[in-house]
Structure 1
Amino acid sequence: MFAAYASRIDRDQPLNGLELGERPEPEARPGWTIINVKAASLNHHDLWSLRGVGLDEKLLPMILGCDAAGTDADGNEVVIHSVIGQSGHGVGPDEPRSILTERYQGTFAERVAVPAWNVLPKPKELSFAEAACLPTAWLTAYRMLFTNAGVRPGQSVLVQGAGGGVATAAIVLGAAAGLRVFATSRDENKRARAVELGAEAAFEAGARLPHRVDAVIETVGAATWSHSVKSLKPGGTLVISGATSGPNPPAAELTRIFFLELKVVGSTMGTKEELADLLSFCAATGVRPVIDSTLPLDRAREGFEKMAGGELFGKIVLTV
């Protein structure tokens, strides 16, 4: 079957390890099922995999891709929850959780094998492309906002780095849930798009906000860390799920954190139950993922290049 896969690790030039071509069919081991992929979406996790982050070189070649929507053997339309082993379903009870492509072959292929427990019904209201955007970036944003930040309608939230998949999802979900959403970006066009999606206002990176916020959604890391901490109200919550600009900010802001009793919460992906809630939320409210572009699987390299260059707003979807 045709697939996009990592053939080798290159930490400096990750796309050098990306290959497109034939790979073996997935194996239907006990408790697992094979899904015919209709659409899959790119995440920064795929670039990190090509750099060898979370992917052991001994497991190469590895088909990339965490997210997918498609059909099962009976023709049912389904969505895949990409966290494997979180509840011990389909793998050994002592196996630590992982994401597709870290231990098991991913979704950038015509077919993928996953534990049957990881398959959820796709709401008929969502297209395959829309549903394929939800299990990683949108689920991450959903958990950051509603589980880990615990914000309520009427409260305010700052989303750093408008344009990325998680940040875009946080803007749309936050606005739909009645939050006052502020966003930042270095790009004027991305700031305008953020407002179109429901942000109350969008500012240049590091700009002073009209007022301090109840929570910050942080995926950028070192470049925005200080601004994030300084933008919080006393007792506010900073939720971080990524560090695309680097993991080591120049100042930890520890004095401000303890003096204002700020909370710093790490967040990774989300549960199967949270994904089910997110799917229902989108189906019921009309909220839809922001799709930057859609490409056939055999043009996956174009999608990777666009994501690596930061030239996107929303998700890139690969169709099979």
Structure 2
Amino acid sequence: MLRVGIIGAGIMAAGHAEVLAAHPDAVVTAVASRTRHSAERLAASTSANPAVFDDADALIASGQVDAVSITTPDPLHAEMMVAAAKAGLHILVEKPFTTDVPGADAAAAAIKDNDVRAMCLFNHRWVPAYAQAKQRMAEIGQPVVGYARKDDTIFVPTEMISWAQSTTCAWFLSSHDIDLMTWLMDDQITRVYATARYGRLRRSGIDTPDAIQIQAQFSRGAIATFESAWIYPNTFPTVVDSYVTVAGEQGVIQLDRQKEGITIATEQAYAYPRNMLQRVVHGQPAGAYRDAIHHFVDCARSGAQPLVSVASSRHVTAVLAAAHESIACAAPVDVAPDPLEALR
């Protein structure tokens, strides 16, 4: 059994706990959170009676886990990954990998030096339509232009997460799309130019952009736009509006997740319930989110390298760091190269 410790006790931590409990070869043996009540509540929701710790360091040093699942707010990932890797623990971390390039490089180096398995949970690679698109990319020829939109309702930064001011819609949303686009094109981004719009959220007391657009140049000449926003009205039929397209020299692939096979109309609302990422089928977790976490467990137990590499996750961080630098300086910015690339 892979003994997993969950660091964090919020929405994503609950999802990890539910999925890990459904894996026949994994067990949640520890939970840590700066808010002990939240950790105790998460521990009580599992049937494994995990130990509860007040911080990540205590959990990592406990000897009660073989792997950690890091579900904390975005800016806290890097330091925890370094500590876990140095302790010889396998690492599953929520996206983004980190929110700064030095932290990403430190985490990547610690993971490599200690030969642990690590995966950033870019679970969209397990959405059947995206996986099928990857398999059929050759049919559209050399990639020319891509566009990815991931826009949330204002519920997300104002109610769902309490730390929206510590991140941006691009870190929170476009990280998924940058991972997808680079994976689909099998290429890396070399330069970005980004712009941001402030207004609605600032007036609400949350100092983070309403929306960000990133123009990206790939190494083999393709271009792409990444749009993120989180001020859609809460009356929108889904919490997230997600769309991806890639045009090549001989064709185009479009991926629209607005409708996922079901619509529901009631006297209160008209809705498109989401089910590709997370769903429960006959009492069991299912979907891309479950499949991605189970893939990590299997890799940690077997020693295989995960589908989502540390290098590709570090690249997403570097692209987004360059984009935020571009917003600040109002000019194009080159993406920081990977210092470990020469060793691969």
Q: Name the TM tier (shorter chain).
A: 0.3 to 0.5
TM-score, normalised on structure 1?
Answer: 0.36
TM-score, normalised on structure 2?
Answer: 0.34
